[in-house]
Structure 1
């Protein structure tokens, strides 16, 4: 070995996880079995591993707090993500500090919030927002591990554990086609408003084209006018279904439909995305349920790995740079698929439109 041994080398030699080695040297063997403790110490002695006391001291002072930049917590999807991340962080023996960006704050407000979190000396930070571009987030990178959680991301310098929104859009398109729908409306919004909405709807449209389903794009904004335009388009252009980029828009559309006497799904079907708000089962909204708990669990688990690596090499590159390819290091990106919820708001094509 041409370099000093690391915790990972010790873990491999002992046949245990790197987190176990970390607990042996940084937490006096807390929650480590006697057999594993002996294996780790024997492997460390054999390899000549010397624990980095400086990194350990930094971890003891600042390593228990993690930060979360979250988008508009009044949106049930973000509120649920906040709750699940907090629970997963607490289960890992840490605490969470959060900063919330409001729905109509774009770009700079979120970056400012992220810098405030980093100023709190957090050990690592999660970014749960669908607005700020990864290119802007990169400008805030420090030696503190950063991870995008929830929204899809492919940036090579920022780790992510996200909902597979491209697959979600395709699943909705396939469900509509299977129900016989061949002409539908899709409420769309600018990329700046929500990168998540944009990805969902672009994926839906692309899959609909492959399946021979015509999609009429309807401008979502402002939402009150957008749902009215969608209902008008459905009536005028013989569209049998309306797809909304998020459940709270679908609920506004259901209210507007009831006000004008349009029956759902007898006159037009309605589908949303998110599936996390309470009572959707009572309403019968067809939607895609986001795998929020699984994403939060995996994100915190991965953050633990990044923190261990950052402690091993506190002067090295940002801990998000973890996968080596040749001479370059790139971040890992995980996608988790949710479930299609069969609701009463999605029915067959109305008789008069067949």
Structure 2
């Protein structure tokens, strides 16, 4: 018995994406040009494709809502991710439901948040947090497409569109070296506190070793004490630069430095990561800006493809194994700032 043509076959014959074919048959051609509409219907007729309304109902049973689990909306990185994802979802003709996990909870609230999203019968779920292990995400979300957004991920069963934090760590190390720094304090945090922080700093430390830069690790937590320890260590050990794993820590470091009459960058330089807070340009913080808008747009586009693929699974014979998950990395850019200067004169030589 010959195989029945699928939506993917129609897309290939018409020279369009599967998501476009899906919009033609499921949404009466919403947001599809007249020429494309004709091309898709002609390809479907030529192939003998008949859209399976029952399968379509199964794939779209959750309506047009997508879910986003976000962490600590007061953090500019997460706040921007929420806003950009919402914009991209709206452009796709869907609605976004979000749940925010506590900043200081180490995973329990995130899993509970995922379950709340699933209870809203969303069609797919984005996870934009930095704590819960991928293995726990797989066990929690089994009924709808799941995608990690923002944080790096290599789990073979979870799709991801992520910031290239490994590249960001190396970029910061190169920037430090370019300014002549050879002895650097680095604020570190446990993996459980933030997988993103851990990856950034590990990458930076590895690159510094390649460049011959000495690293002095200092515990970040609690932040208010960690930044003071970093300033004291820099003074005692003759370090000329302090690296913070995120901009809000760098701002706390600037406050602590001002309170202790430590001049930035005349006495010691500093950098952060994220580059998204309002007023950072006024402060002049040297940092790495995350490509939030691009990551959100590409994540929503890929989610549409995953939803179409889920429909194809209902229409055609079951595959022997699901295709491997795609992991896409998007690199941000360095933002020069006045907080990163040359090595102070008294530390040269």
TM bin, normalised by shorter chain, reads over 0.9
1-side partners of 2:303 and 2:241: how far apart? 41
2-side partners of 1:232 and 1:37: how far apart? 67
Q: Deviations over 1:27-83 (max 9, x none)?
A: 122333333222222221222212120232245552310000001111111111111
| Mapped contact 1:169–1:201 kept (Cα < 8 A) | yes
| Matching residue of 1:352 | 346
| Matching residue of 2:119 | 119
2-side partners of 1:255 and 1:195: how far apart? 26
User: Secondary structure of 1:251's match?
Assistant: helix
In the TM superposition, what is the alpha-carbon distance from 1:327 to its structure 2 partner?
5.9
| Mapped contact 2:227–2:249 kept (Cα < 8 A) | yes
2-side partners of 1:130 and 1:329: how far apart? 25
2-side partners of 1:30 and 1:200: how far apart? 42
In the TM superposition, what is the alpha-carbon distance from 1:312 to its structure 2 partner?
2.2
Structure 2 gap segments, 5+ residues each: none
In the TM superposition, what is the alpha-carbon distance from 1:329 to its structure 2 partner?
2.3
Pair 1:274-2:274 in alignment: yes
1-side partners of 2:250 and 2:31: how far apart? 47
Pair 1:339-2:340 in alignment: no
2-side partners of 1:250 and 1:157: how far apart? 35
Q: Deviations over 1:300-354 (max 9, x none)?
A: 1111111111122248999xxxxx9x96621001110001000000000000000
2-side partners of 1:56 and 1:148: how far apart? 25
2-side partners of 1:7 and 1:111: how far apart? 34
Pair 1:51-2:51 in alignment: yes
User: Secondary structure of 1:25's match?
Assistant: helix
| Matching residue of 1:225 | 225
| Matching residue of 2:179 | 179
| Mapped contact 1:287–1:343 kept (Cα < 8 A) | yes
Deviates more, 1:60-69 or 1:118-127: 60-69
| Matching residue of 2:240 | 240
Deviates more, 1:255-264 or 1:138-147: 138-147
| Mapped contact 1:68–1:96 kept (Cα < 8 A) | yes
Query: Normalising by structure 1, what TM-score?
Result: 0.94
Pair 1:251-2:245 in alignment: no
Query: Normalising by structure 2, what TM-score?
Result: 0.96
| Matching residue of 1:5 | 5
In the TM superposition, what is the alpha-carbon distance from 1:286 to its structure 2 partner?
0.3
2-side partners of 1:283 and 1:26: how far apart? 50
User: Secondary structure of 1:32's match?
Assistant: coil
| Mapped contact 2:59–2:310 kept (Cα < 8 A) | no
Q: Aligned pair count?
A: 348
Please report the RMSD computed on the Cα atoms of aligned residues, expressed in angstroms. Answer: 1.9
1-side partners of 2:299 and 2:35: how far apart? 29
| Matching residue of 2:324 | 330
1-side partners of 2:217 and 2:268: how far apart? 16
| Mapped contact 1:69–1:110 kept (Cα < 8 A) | yes
- Which consecutive segments of 4 or more residues in structure 1 shift more than 3 A? 58-61, 314-318
| Matching residue of 2:19 | 19
2-side partners of 1:56 and 1:349: how far apart? 63
Q: Deviations over 1:238-286 (max 9, x none)?
A: 0000000000000000000000000000000010000000000000000
| Matching residue of 1:200 | 200
2-side partners of 1:216 and 1:276: how far apart? 27
Pairs within 5 Å for 1:306-321: 306-314=306-314
In the TM superposition, what is the alpha-carbon distance from 1:88 to its structure 2 partner?
0.8
| Matching residue of 1:321 | none
